[in-house]
Amino acid sequence: MRLLVLLLFLCQWSTAQVNIVQLMGIEDSHLSTFETHKLTPKTAAAFSAMQAAALKDGIDIQLVSAHRSFERQQYIWEDKFVRYTAEGLSPEAAIARILKYSTIPGTSRHHWGTDIDITDGNIKNETRLLVPSKFHNNGPFVPLHQWMQANAHKFGFYLVYTNDAARTGFSYEPWHYSYLPEAKAFLKGYNSRMAFAYFKSVGVRGSEHIDRDFWDEYYRTYIKGINTELTVD
């Protein structure tokens, strides 16, 4: 397995300036520390500028989640897989349920350091923050959502999992933004076949139910099932 990682490491490309090992969350030397999180230096700078601008308008943008490692995503995946199959779901049904909100390890945009989950620090005593209804109607994060809708693009940030009926893949996430100037290049540089090879080599629980056809379909509908502003050819 280490040899495979080493081989993947050698596959760099100039446009994205990151490699597949970094894009899979296995290695994070392209990231810098921001608050208690990790982001690419450019994403951190843009986020910081956006945070300062929002604060002037009374919105206290807080990071809930930024970079996440392959290992962490594997933990999330396996925890759900074990729970759902213990509840009586078949492995295939368990995987389908996981994929409503969680990615296959190695395929999360949170591996990249360009993607963030945010809330408004003005709102205290809320539990279960990342729920779509809290960003709409009389929800506590409506001011944050409205501010982001009007201003986020000025700083390079775009919603990834939009509320668009024509979009495939993951459910609507009004809290998840991506730093477009880097994320578009990262998606272009993401090598799905290499990612599949590494994923299969790790022995993630449930991975025996994910073959190449499943992976290719998942890549097309989920990883590319995003806000069209962020898609690449």
Contact 172, 226 (CB under 8 A): no
Least distance from Zn ion to the Cβ atom of residue 177, Å = 9
**Nearer CB in complex with Zn ion: 73/207:** 73
How far, in Å, CA of 191 to CA of 20, rounded? 7
- For 45-122, list the strands marked E by DSSP: 61-65, 115-120
Token reading at 104: 């296959």
Least distance from Zn ion to the Cβ atom of residue 137, Å = 22
**Nearer CB in complex with Zn ion: 78/117:** 117
Overall residue count recorded for the chain in this entry? 233
**Nearer CB in complex with Zn ion: 37/176:** 176
Kindly state whether residue 62 participates in binding Zn ion, applying the rule CB under 5 A: no
**In the Cβ-directed half-sphere of 65, how many Cα atoms lie within 13 Å?**
17
Instruction: Give 91's contacts (C-beta < 8 A, 6+ positions apart).
Output: 81, 85, 206, 209
Token reading at 213: 């056809």
Please choose, out of 75-83, 94-102, 173-181, 198-206, the segment that lies near Zn ion by the rule CB under 5 A: 173-181
Write the DSSP symbol of residue 12. Answer: B
**Nearer CB in complex with Zn ion: 80/176:** 176
Least distance from Zn ion to the Cβ atom of residue 64, Å = 8
**Nearer CB in complex with Zn ion: 149/201:** 149
One-letter amino acid for residue 135 of the chain: F
Please choose, out of 71-79, 94-102, 113-121, 149-157, the segment that lies near Zn ion by the rule CB under 5 A: 113-121
Least distance from Zn ion to the Cβ atom of residue 88, Å = 29
**Nearer CB in complex with Zn ion: 30/176:** 176
Contact 205, 82 (CB under 8 A): yes
Interacting residue with Zn ion among 176, 177, 182, 207 (CB under 5 A): 176
Least distance from Zn ion to the Cβ atom of residue 28, Å = 17
Residue with the shortest CB distance to Zn ion: 176
Least distance from Zn ion to the Cβ atom of residue 143, Å = 20
Neighbours of 15 (CB within 10 A): 9
Kindly state whether residue 117 participates in binding Zn ion, applying the rule CB under 5 A: yes
How far, in Å, CA of 191 to CA of 181, rounded? 19
| Residues at the site binding Zn ion, with contacts judged by CB under 5 A | 117, 176
